[in-house]
Every structure is written in C-alpha cells, then in structure tokens.
Chains A and B, each alone.
Chain A
Amino acid sequence: MILLDEAEQVLTIDAKGVYYRELNARLRDAVENGVKKVVLNNITGQRYLGTDLPGEVELEVHGTPGNDLGAFMNGPTVTIHGNLQDGCGNTMNAGTIVAHGRAGDALGYAMRGGKIFVRDDVGYRVGIHMKQYEGKVPAIVVGGTAQPFLGEYMAGGVLVVLGMGLQEGERHRANFIGTGMHNGVIFLRGSVEQHQLGKEVGVREPDEADWQLLRSLVGEFAGHFGFATEELLRGRFLKLLPLSLRPYGRLYAY
C-alpha cells in the first residue's frame, strides 16, 4: 500500500513482507520523482535502507530495519523508531541516522562523514576505523553504554558515549576501548578501569574546546530524543585519545 501526500511530497509505504530489493527500488523511484520524505511502516529486517539515495531525502522508519542500514550513505536523514541491527552506517560519507532505540555491532564502520545518534546501548566494535578527511569529521553519539572494542583502530572523528542507564558507581563493561586508536577522540561519561582501555589510549580531562564540541553534539542528541542537554553534560567525562599517530613505529625491523 502506498500513500502519497502530494502537497508535502511525503510517501508512506507499508513494507510488510516486501523484499528489500523491491523496497529499495521503490525508494529510488520515488525520490527520482520528487518525493522528499518517505515513511516506512512495518519494517522487519529489510537491508540497506538509505543506501544509494540522494542527499535531500528523509526516511522515517518504523520497525526493525535489517543490517547495513545507511551503508555507503551520502546525505539522507534516516530516523528509526525502533532498534538497529548490525553494520549500520557502514562506510557512510554524509547524512544523519537517528535511532530511537539501540544498535548492534560495528555501527559506523569506516564512517568518513555524517552523524549517528543512538538513544540506547550499542554493540561491539562501534566506530571501528572511523576516519576523518579534510573537512569531514564523522560523529557518533550513544545515549547508553557500549560493548567491547569501542572505537577500535579509530582513525578520526568523534565518539561520545553518555552512559545513561548505568547505576551510580557502575562502570562501563566494555573492554579493549580504543584499541589500536591512532586519531580522533572518544568522550566517555562515567568510569572505566585502566585495563578496559586499549594500550594505545591516553586519558585526559576535556578542555574548553572539547566542552564546546560536546555541548554541540550532546545538544543535538538531546534535541532528537527530548532530553535536557545540561543533564546529559553533568558528571565526569573522560577524554580518550591516541598516545601516538603511529602506534606501531617499533613493530617492524628494517
């Protein structure tokens, strides 16, 4: 069933039982025909939503989209009223993903630009090999906590983990945080023990420029989900950054 609101150029699709290839083909067609926003209802596991769509479009997803949502995405804004599975934001170049729920593993793998906001917890290897390039600085903001290998060999960009839902005095459970990190920065609200951090990671207090960046990203996060920014900025933030841009300088014999 397809509903098109001509005035708003909004298309609504009931995706129940629709195979992903057909669904994504319909999205491409619709956008080519001037649709600016698509509401997708009853999504259950369809992959690659948001891939190969031009920048101006907006997707509103209801349900549980499949793996690789936003893979290679270059501009669209995708809002998910539900949970994300694995591999979302894979090699994303531009655009925004807003998940009103949690996300699975390898979120934002090799992401080079754009922003991802996840209200709840995220899985393993989130932000793995995120990188920055010239003016592009990707960002991921996570409301809850993360599983191990957060920011694994991170090469740029900003990861913020707010630790909402952790009890007073409860530390994040992830280990191997920032293992192999050689650029970029992770801001972690709450506590971890030294052994949970990768050996390439140093811990600092955020400075004024960092707070400015945090206020902006956390403000945007709070805006998406209806939180109060100041509440989210309260408490201790650890700034995790690589000790070296070349952590493996002594690895090889020449």
Chain B
Amino acid sequence: MKTYLPARFRVRRDDERCIRCRVCERQCGFDVHHYDEEDDSLYCDDEKCVACHRCVVFCPTGALTVEKNPLSYRENYSWRPEAIEDLMKQAETGGILLTGMGNDKPYPIYWDKLLLNASQVTNPSIDPLREPMELRTYLGRKPDRIDLAAGNIGRWTRRAPQVAIETPIMFSAISYGAISLNVQESLARAATEYGTFFNTGEGGLHKSLYKYSDNAIVQVASGRFGVHQEYLDAARVVEIKIGQGAKPGIGGHLPGEKVSAEVAATRMIPRGTDALSPAPHHDIYSIEDLSQLIYALKEATNYTKPISVKIAAVHNSAAIASGIVRAGADIVAIDGIRGATGAAPKIIRDNVGIPIELAIAAVDSRLRAEGIRNQASLVAAGGVRNSADVIKAIALGADAVYIGSAALIAMGCHVCQACYTGRCSWGIATTDDYLMKRINPNIASRRLTNLLRGWSLEIKEMLGGMGINALESLRGNRHHLRGVGLSDTELEILGVRMAGS
C-alpha cells in the first residue's frame, strides 16, 4: 500500500563539505544514506530518518544537518499533524501504534513550577566544597523506634536489611534485550564506581555482569525471565515490577528477532522466541497476593535483602502504596507518566498515569498520615532531567530517584523515540551485533560517572545553599519548596506554599 505519510525530517548535506567518506552511510541504523558510485554522490531517504543525529555527529566535515520537514498543513487545532499522521499509519497497517522513550506531550512538568530555597543571614549557607556534605542514603525498612532494652542493636539491622547509596540517584530498570549487553555493563560499572545501584530490569542478569552484583537491583516481573536462585542471591535488592510509568497496566513484548543467543541464555528461554511479559503477575490478583510474593522472595533470600515493589503512578497511588507497605515491601518505587520504555503503545504512553511529582507527594503524605512512612523507602522515577529535579523529588518526600532516560542520553541517546525498532544508531536500544559495538563500556561508563559526579556536586551546592549538610534533613522537608503558577489544589497536593507566602 502506498503510504500517504510525508517524511518528518529532511537531511541536508552540504555537498561542498562532503568528502564522500561514507561514514553517514555506515553510521545510520535506519539506512537513510546511500552512496551512488556512478555519480560519486550520497543520497538520502528522508522518510526513514528519525532525527537521531548519529550521522550529523560523526560526519568528519560537518556536512550534515537534520531539519524538520517544513511541510505545512492547513492550521487546525484539533487535527494537528501528529493526529493526522498517526491515523494514517493505522489506516495503512491496522495495528497499535508503537513508540519508545517517555511521554512527549505537554502535560504540566511540576518540577518547573517548584522553586528551591536558600539561606540569607538568619542561617548560614554551607560551603559544600570545604565543609562536610552528606548524600549517603540507606534504603530499607526502618523501625518506629530503637529499643535499647531489647539488647544487641546489630541484630535489628540484620533483621531489616539496609542498603547504602552514596548519591540519591540510581539507574532505572532497563532490561537486557531492550538494550545491549554493553549498555547494561556500562550502567553496572558506573553504579559500582559511584556507590549506587543499577537495575537489571526484567531480562535477567548476564553471566558476565555478576561481578557487579553488589550494585545490582534485580527485577522479578510477570514474565519471570532469568529469575533463579543464583540471580536472587547475587542482588543487593530484589524488585517486584508491577508496572512502568510508560505503560501502566500492560505487559511487555520483546520480539523474537531481538532474542539472540545471549539474550535467550540470560532470560532462560529458547532463542528467537518472543519474550512475553503478561500484564499482571498471575500470582498477584490482589494485595494479599503481593504480600505472598514479597514473603516468598524474603524467604528465598533469607531476609537478607530489601524487597522493592515498583508501580506506575496512577490515580490512587497513595492508597496502593499504603497497601504495598503493609504487604511488607521495604522499598516502594513509583514511576511517573514521563517514565520511558523501549517499546509501548503510543496511546497508553501518552494518556495513562499521572506525573511523578504529584504521586510522590501524595504517597509521602499518605504514609505519614498513616504513621507508616518509616516502614519503607520511597523511590521516585519517571521524568528526572537534572539535579534540581532530583532535589525537588527528595524535598517532596522521596528517599532517592531512578533515572533511565537521563542515563541513556548520557551515553548518546538523542531521544528519537525509535527504540522499538531495534535499529538504534547509537547502539543503545539494540541487540544487533554491529550496532551494539558502538557502546564502549569504558567510555560510556565514564560518561555516566561524570553525570553522577556533576549532579552530585550540584545537589551539594543546592543543599549547602539551603543550610543543610545531610540529605536526610531535606527528605520530605517541603518548607524548602515554593510553587509558582499552581492552583490551590495543586499546591495542597504537593504540600507546598505559593512563592512569596
């Protein structure tokens, strides 16, 4: 069927600069560029271009750029180009529209409507370069009190395991299969070097990455891929994945073509078969079933590891989180509507869930109102773009954050949203042998540790400005936040006051 879809981008080549080295042709994962020997020229299939900029960055003479196709439609607020093009694509295929990365719609980003405090006169700002500034955070269930009369205090800590992170930033779950082994290794190395955690996602832990398991959170998802005793034993934290911010309420589907021999071995499934994650866990149809799985994992790991439960931020997150804590979870991770994915139905990604800022504030408030906030750590995920977002999440009530998109961008991702194709030119969201070599773990892990270092330094500067020298004094301390451009209801849910008040 002839497609009626116009190209979204145009590749512009400055022929005077082009030296016909054909780097663009080799670098493009989407076969946009091709060389014609007869007339010694390079040509482009614009309609294949996803604007990932790989060719632009690698062109040695700077001959390339990518532009939006300036093609104009008749102005129509309702039938905007995206709506028309999505509809045409479905008319041509009859399928569910797929996409990658996080929600790109202009829902309010509350981070941008929250402002931080700083000390002036009545309280000195603290200079983080020369005075101690502590970011260490312990994740895990805390008791409501210490009872010295009960004897050996160490016995308590062993009963409710705590794990330390040296910066409140962890890498989100991204499964092997959705990304290449090199990418996961880069995340693992950076987490190890910086004293934080990477998260295996639901695709198991490759044999070669067990050496990083002291910094691993392993996931147990509905597909149970690669879950076995050794995997659980290796991890520091075991996370039950209920949902994901990019696709709340639905499962996953790793197509057989991405299930290479190594992926198959790690997921413990036959090579080339589709890896299907059911929408729910079929042993969890209710909250008491979640408790049953939590305790099954605690038994399997002899109560030595915190058990985390990750949910997508949905309408009644506060009540759900309360149930999860009462079900025995030691950590609750909440993934907001801007959380990313390797592949999700576009209609779900763009319309289901709520922003993480509202969810984390509501959950923290609810757990405090019920007097159970001590019983679990809270991790905020989905849409953290910089260190200010991290610190705002913590002031709203999170103990730490997960970053996914930010970590991928640090390694080269240009957020072209074509992860689901498996043809990622940057070698990230692919298991293709040729493409995945583009991620060199030596370099990519360096880029990631640089990111963690830069953000951590910035967090220390902001904390010092607020006159705080330990992160725990900011956690849930919403007095250091003020809102701008928010309604009374939004302010109330966020638990912050209007700027100027």
**Which chain A residues have a beta carbon within 8 Å of chain B's beta carbons?**
149, 152-153, 176, 179-180, 198, 247-248, 251, 253
Check B454 against A198 for contact (C-beta < 8 Å).
no
B166: shortest Cβ distance to chain A, in Å?
16
The CA of A198 and the CA of B129, in the complex, are separated in Å by 10
A149 partner, pick from B129, B131, B457, beta carbons under 8 A:
B131
Q: When the two chains form the complex, which single residue of B129, B132, B454 contacts A248, counting CB atoms closer than 8 Å?
A: B129
Interface of A is mostly: loop
B383-399 interface code vs A (CB 8 A; 1 in, 0 out): 00000000000000000
Binary flags per residue of B236-279, CB closer than 8 Å to A gives 1, else 0: 00000000000000000000000000000000000000000000
Interface residues of B in 291-310 (CB under 8 A from A): none
Asked whether A179 lies within 8 Å of B457 as measured between CB atoms, the reply is no
Cβ of A183 to closest chain B Cβ, rounded Å: 14
- Bound complex: CA A251 to CA B127 (Å): 14
- A38 nearest CB across to chain B (Å): 34
Q: Count CB-based A-B contacts (< 8 Å).
A: 20
- A contact residues around B454 at 8 Å (CB): 253
Query: B121 CB to closest chain A CB, in angstroms?
Result: 16
B132: nearest chain-A partner, CB-CB: A176
B130 within 8 A of A: yes
When the two chains form the complex, which single residue of B130, B132, B457 contacts A251, counting CB atoms closer than 8 Å? B457
Contact in complex: A180, B127 (CB < 8 Å): yes
Question: Are A180's CB and B129's CB within 8 A?
Answer: yes
Q: Are A152 and B130 in contact (CB under 8 A)?
A: yes
- When chains A and B are docked, how far (Å) is the Cα of A153 from the Cα of B454? 22
What 6 A-B pairs are tightest by C-beta distance, nearest first? A180-B130, A179-B130, A153-B130, A152-B130, A180-B129, A248-B129
CB-nearest residue of chain A to B454 = A253
The distance in angstroms between the C-alpha atoms of A152 and B454, with both chains bound, is 24
A-B residue pairs in contact (CB < 8 Å), sample of 13: A149-B131, A152-B130, A153-B130, A176-B130, A176-B132, A179-B130, A179-B131, A180-B127, A180-B129, A198-B130, A247-B129, A248-B129, A251-B129
A109 to B481, CA, bound (A): 33
A248: chain B residues at CB < 8 Å are 129
Cβ–Cβ < 8 Å partners of A198 in chain B: 130
Additional A-B contact list (17), CB under 8 Å, known A153-B127, A198-B130, A251-B457? A149-B130, A149-B131, A152-B130, A152-B131, A153-B130, A176-B130, A176-B131, A176-B132, A179-B130, A179-B131, A180-B127, A180-B129, A180-B130, A247-B129, A248-B129, A251-B129, A253-B454
Q: Could you mark each residue 210-226 of chain B with 1 if its beta carbon is under 8 Å from any beta carbon of chain A, else 0?
A: 00000000000000000
Complex Cα spacing A198 to B454, Å: 21
- CB contact list, B444-465 vs A, under 8 A: 454, 457
Q: Which residue of B lies closest to A198 (CB)?
A: B130
Instruction: Show the binding face of B for A, using Cβ within 8 Å.
Output: 127, 129-132, 454, 457
Contacts of B132 in A (CB 8 A): 176
| Bound CA–CA A153/B131 (angstroms) | 10
CB distance from B300 to the nearest CB of A (A): 40
Complex interface: chain A residues within 8 A of B131 (CB): 149, 152, 176, 179
Chain A residue at minimum C-beta to C-beta distance from B457: A251
Look across to chain B and name the residue whose beta carbon is closest to the beta carbon of A129.
B130
Chain A contacts of B127 at CB under 8 A?
A: 153, 180
Q: Which residues of B contact A176 (CB under 8 A)?
A: 130-132
CB distance from B323 to the nearest CB of A (A): 43
CB B386 to nearest CB in A, in angstroms, measures: 12
Question: Chain B contacts of A180 at CB under 8 A?
Answer: 127, 129-130
Measured CB to CB, the closest approach of chain A to B317, in angstroms, equals: 36
In the complex, A152 Cα to B129 Cα: how many Å?
Answer: 11
A176 and B126 alpha carbons, distance in the complex (Å)? 14
Minimum Cβ distance to chain B for residue A205 (Å): 26
A198 to B130, CA, bound (A): 8
CA distance A247 to B129 in the complex (A): 10
CB neighbours of B457 from chain A (8 A)? 251
Q: How far is the CA of A99 from the CA of B457 in the complex (A)?
A: 40
**In the complex, chain A residues whose CB is within 8 Å of the CB of B129:** 180, 247-248, 251
Q: Which residue of A lies closest to B130 (CB)?
A: A180
Tell me the minimal C-beta distance from A13 to chain B in angstroms. 34
**Closest-CB distance, B460 to chain A (whole angstroms):** 11
- Can you name the residue of chain A whose Cβ is closest to the Cβ of B461? A251
Question: Chain B: which residue is nearest A180 at the CB level?
Answer: B130
CA distance A149 to B130 in the complex (A): 9
Query: What is the distance, in angstroms, from A250's C-beta to the closest C-beta of chain B?
Result: 9
Complex Cα distance, B457 from A203, in Å, reads: 26
CA distance A176 to B128 in the complex (A): 12
A150: shortest Cβ distance to chain B, in Å? 12
Complex CA gap A176/B131 in Å reads 8
Residues of chain B within 8 A of A179, CB atoms compared: 130-131
Contacts of B130 in A (CB 8 A): 149, 152-153, 176, 179-180, 198
Docked CA distance A152–B130 (Å):
7
B320 CB to nearest chain A CB (Å): 40
* Distance of A103 Cα from B133 Cα, bound (Å): 27
Q: Report how far A149 CA is from B129 CA in the complex, Å.
A: 12
Instruction: Tell me the bound Cα distance from A40 to B131 in angstroms.
Output: 38
- Complex Cα spacing A153 to B129, Å: 9
The complex places the Cα of A247 from the Cα of B454 at a distance, in Å, of 16
Bound Cα distance from A149 to B469, whole angstroms: 15
Which residues in B have their C-beta under 8 angstroms from that of A153? 127, 130
Chain B nearest CB: distance from A218 CB in Å?
Answer: 28
CB distance from B390 to the nearest CB of A (A): 17
